[in-house]
Amino acid sequence: MAEKRDYYEVLGVSRGATDDDLKKSYRRLARQYHPDINKEPHAEEHFKEVNEAYEVLSDADRRAAYDRFGHAASQMGGNGDPFGGFGQSPFGDIFETFFGGSTNRRRTGPQRGADLQATIDITFLESMFGAERDIELTRQETCDSCHGTRMKDGATPPRCTVCNGTGEVRRVQQTILGQFMTAQPCSSCRGEGVTITEPCDACRGRGRVTRARSINVTVPAGIDENQTLRYTGQGEASTNGGPNGNLYIKVRIEPHEIFTRQGRNVLMTAGVNVAQAALGDAISVETIDGPVIFNLPAGTQSGEKFRLRSHGVPSGNDRGDQIVTVQVLIPHELTPEQRELFEQLADTMGSEIQPQPHQRSFFDKVKDALGV
Ligand SMILES: [Zn+2]
Ligand SMILES: [Zn+2]
């Protein structure tokens, strides 16, 4: 076995790294090397290494032991792969959609159980700040009575006597062209190599039972449209002793009446009246955090954009911005008093129109610069 790398080195953090540093680094690396995503030859190896390092360093006791004794400490206990077995990784792992990634991996022996898919709908604000849902699903689970052996009391099924446990029957056929050896699945055990002599009562010898389950789903803050949550091991049980499949949850986000999202920013349009635009005003602007006061400068033009820092999409400890586009609203109807005031205004402003420079595109500017 090759010399083990230092766990801190594996995660690319200093020895004084905080839990948060560890988690961030781990998530980044786990995503980078996840075998469903990364098809490079050593990805899986790196993935395991990263998982092992994080498993030890994220546990205060085991980290302290590792700091004192190095890798010798980890041989005293612990089992390795946090993604293995039934259940989810410590924080509910999130990956974009990678359906099919695992099904085309070649495997010999036990097959992974089927993946399950579900869809949940959340509001725009829930997509910003996170949400929880219970989803109901029906899935095939390993039978509790026989633990999947399919035999009464969980006994090990005896080998098929017809094929001697190989699952196939070989026959030599004599033909005019010579001898042919053919191998066919054993019809007695249907190629399984074992005979269920005393079937388990609970599952009637199937090894799996159908169960209705309620799964608690945590949607992380800042999730975007078309992202999929993955719950490792929460899919269907394997038919032949392999690991469970995964549960993939597609998250749909209902559009909001006034907010839209663009990357990490939240966009909204604020209508102001002519006087506010001309004179400036302290206006109350709706954000996803509630209303905030914004000082609209005097002389604001319709279509002008302003940035409200850190009122955008949450991502980690950080936030995007809210971009407010001002739209100057010209009144459709005037009260007699307003009409009089506008008429006075018109007198002071004159009646000449002011031709505006043509709005030149980026390409026009490039052309000018190049002199073409
Ligand atoms: Zn059973
Ligand atoms: Zn057989």
Return per-residue pLDDT of the chain as tens, 372 residues.
457 888 998 998 888 888 888 888 988 888 888 877 788 888 888 888 888 889 888 888 888 888 877 877 655 443 333 333 333 333 333 333 333 333 333 334 688 999 999 999 999 999 999 999 999 999 999 999 999 999 999 999 999 999 898 888 888 777 777 777 778 888 888 888 899 999 999 999 999 999 999 999 999 999 998 899 999 999 999 988 889 999 999 999 999 999 999 999 999 999 999 999 999 999 999 999 999 999 999 999 999 999 999 999 998 889 999 999 999 999 999 999 999 999 999 999 988 888 888 777 777 778 877 876
CA of 153 to the centre of ligand 1 (A): 8
pTM: 0.60
| Ligand 2 midpoint to CA 107 (Å) | 22
Name the residues around ion ligand 2, CB cutoff 5 A. 160, 162-163, 186, 188-189
Please tell me the distance between residue 154's alpha carbon and the centre of ligand 1 in angstroms.
7
Strands (E) across the chain are located at 94-95, 116-122, 131-142, 168-175, 178-185, 208-219, 228-231, 247-253, 260-262, 265-273, 281-287, 290-296, 305-308, 314-315, 318-319, 322-329
Q: Considering every ligand atom, which ligand is closest to the CA of 185?
A: 2
Ligand sitting nearest the alpha carbon of 168: 2
Distance 138 CA to ligand 1 centre (A): 18
Cβ neighbors of 269 (< 8 A, separation 6 or more) are 258, 324, 325, 326, 327
Query: Which listed ligand is nearest to 205 at the C-alpha?
Result: 1
158 C-alpha vs ligand 2 centroid, how far in Å?
A: 11
The Cα–Cα gap between 15 and 6 comes to 10
132 phi and psi, to 5 degrees? -130, 140
